[in-house]
Structure 1
Amino acid sequence: MRIAVCPGSFDPVTKGHLDIFERASKLFDILVVAVFHNPNKKPLFTMEERVEMLQEATRHIPNIRVDGFSGLLNQYVRQQNSTVIVRGLRALSDFEYEFQRALLIKKIDPGMETIFMMTSSEYSFVSSSGIKELAKFGGDISCLVPLTIKEKVIQKMSKE
């Protein structure tokens, strides 16, 4: 069975993320979308909320499993019986950052492979931070996030 892990903060999940999930899910028997707890970030949504939103947003993709984790990515990937990490890229700046991370993981775990997927051009400018900023000032985010997520983002931003 071919299993891959697609990690990220997904705060919140965007249509760009969904684009990567939908395409990567066709390459593997199981795609684990893993919400990473990053102690260096203060997310808008809790890990539980992000997992729940991802489960809702990916319900139409039958071979996706959503999970949350903290700790070393390579150890988590191995716990999932995998050696493959899928990373979505929007721009060259994403590649530089992700390439360095992939090389570090490869150094500490030579059997681990990272696959980079470019997002579709229609989502190349979409970022979770941009969506939060747009929502904070009353901008329309409906074309950037799944409709099930839109109200959650607006509601959460109104409390900020």
Structure 2
Amino acid sequence: MKRICLFPGTFDPITLGHTDIIDRSLDLFDEIVVGVGVNSAKTPMFPLEQRMQWIREIYSNQPKVKVISYEGLTVKTCQEISARFILRGIRSIGDFEYEKSIADVNRMMDAEIETIFLSCSPHYSTLASSLVRDVLRYGGDASKLLPDTIIRQIKP
């Protein structure tokens, strides 16, 4: 049976912390589906198609990585794409507590889907998309926070 994993998030934008988690999980799964979530409660900085395109470009040479958009329950998306795993990156104990609660509810909805927590590399332990958006919004240098693909496209 193919080990398919869903890595859900808004990826607004995808950061070096996100790519660290994806890169380090490549050996764990046969396919990693990066699920760009549509959350009606959030107003993203970058359009959905742009976020998806950046991920496709970053992983254009990695056939194991696929990109989809989804709305609604992550567990339902896993069922639709036959993913038995949900991948979540953990930066801190606060992240773990929050993510464990979600994982517990997901397990109640579908006991066949396992959540895998991968702690981020220490270099990225404070990196969050919201902080990156602030750096970008106020004209700061985000070159140490974002993949080169994105930096090249957003520079004026």
Shared fold, TM over 0.5: yes
2:27: which partner in 1?
26
1:52: which partner in 2?
53
Alpha carbons 1:134, 1:141 under 8 Å: kept: yes
1:136: which partner in 2?
137
1:68: which partner in 2?
69
Alpha-carbon displacement from aligned partner over 1:65-91 (angstroms, at most 9, x marks no partner): 111111211111111112210001111
> Where does structure 1 lack aligned partners over 5 or more consecutive residues?
156-160
Q: TM-score, normalised by structure 1?
A: 0.91
Alpha carbons 1:132, 1:153 under 8 Å: kept: no
Alpha-carbon displacement from aligned partner over 1:84-117 (angstroms, at most 9, x marks no partner): 1000111111111111111111111122110000
* Secondary structure of 2:97 counterpart: helix
State how far apart, in whole Å, the 1-side matches of 2:15 and 2:61 are.
Answer: 15
Q: CA RMSD in A?
A: 1.3
* Secondary structure of 1:94 counterpart: helix
State how far apart, in whole Å, the 2-side matches of 1:100 and 1:153 are.
Answer: 36
State how far apart, in whole Å, the 1-side matches of 2:145 and 2:62 are.
Answer: 19
State how far apart, in whole Å, the 2-side matches of 1:79 and 1:147 are.
Answer: 32
- Identical aligned residues as a percent: 37
